[in-house]
Structure 1
């Protein structure tokens, strides 16, 4: 029996029409984009070679070991907050200027990654989010699991497609290895959902392109045939998903770490002059951005994160990458600083 959701009528959408809003309306491509339309996500096998992905995983672990906190990848007794840089959700890292570490930029400029986003948008003239990475270690005993945190990274006041997010997987990722949870089939019916309950603003923090769901709302999607899928993949596989798809992540329950990079690209022509100016500030000051590579750039000066083990600002979090990216022509174009 269907469970009714609480109707909350809010204001009608105020955002202007988006140029690409109808891009994923029909599954008529004859390739992996059809799964992106129907299911809300897809896995592109071998976007990066297995060897290159595993090498990047080694770089991520070396980055962790370079902190003078005593972390050792082969010593599970160091898999604790006191031996690790600040992180959230068991391993998502946002401080320390990590968005502009060379090893992360190397992954953003991989031809297979650029090719995938170019196929989605129909152009190779792309800009990339200054996003982060995650290293979720197994057998953590000092992380409190707060349960599901289902959300979409798109305002309910937007209509149609707005953003396609990505995760480049850097380790084998099976059912017990942590990773992305997607509510399969939720993206195509998200507007029907908001047409039913209304578009009242519920955010208490964060950028405008975010919406979290209550239990009764969650049930509405199950009543309409949606089901949760744990996305399993191999090193070098690229997961793409429509930001309208409900999703969250889970930590490893087995013996393997979950290591990945968050990468999102969109057409460079979507950048306004203000966007370009803000992205240059972010680039020069090693700041991160939201998943959306254009617009909604909520920049703020770097402040050291508060450590979970001491409750004090982390003196190691200077906001400056340990190995800052080299500003190549490709990097400058993907940053929105240089023109195509």
Structure 2
């Protein structure tokens, strides 16, 4: 696997490394190297060399640096000269660039290949509102259909996820990269009635993916007559398990549901860091299980899967204690 070093002035590298882990999960062979005010170029060089030495594969290394021509770039460049046939440097570090680099390591074995690939994503990550501030030459359609609309076939469900936050960074980056949808569909009566939330979700869609918000009954109709969506790959998002159950009982053919996040509120218990349940939630998941649905419990693809039965049993025990 290509090793990645994030280098910056100050603690920027530490912060963006943490942000990347929150969105894409913890990563192996990634190090943050910082230049602090009390340090000089030689200190930075020594820290860079130590970071490289910690990698499993020191032949393929990608450096993501904050500023072209700054001290971190210059020290990286000094080391790079002896390895430029394999190593690569990309300056102008931002979070979309880092996330794309993480995703690219799953299919690309060369630092050069990843470096060339992530530059466009880094550029696309720079956007402004109001849209009139966006340079015309940089403006691109928010969504494209990959030219597959209208082809014969049926809608393919690449992921169904219960997540109280709906379309956020972990979905728009990590899950989108691993499932490659052409459509993200938020299935919710409540959100469909909220014009502001609907607009924000549509704006949050990653480049090349179209986002929709539909009521549960509309999703059921689409599932029963999806001939107009031939060639489309759908990622479904449910705000709660109750909406997912309605969809499944209505005929949406889901065999597995990813359970990523359920917010805590009054009356709920929280058996782990990201999932909170009341009795209705527990009963709903059991009904989904009876419908033949399996559960993939994890926030991001890089996480290991948790056991849903164990989580539900723990939640039930905690609720019983509160009675």
Alignment TM class, shorter chain as reference: under 0.3
TM-score (normalised: structure 1): 0.24
Q: Which structure shows the bigger proportion of residues in helix conformation?
A: 2
Higher RCO (CA < 8 A, seq sep 6+): 1
Structure number with larger C-alpha Rg: 2
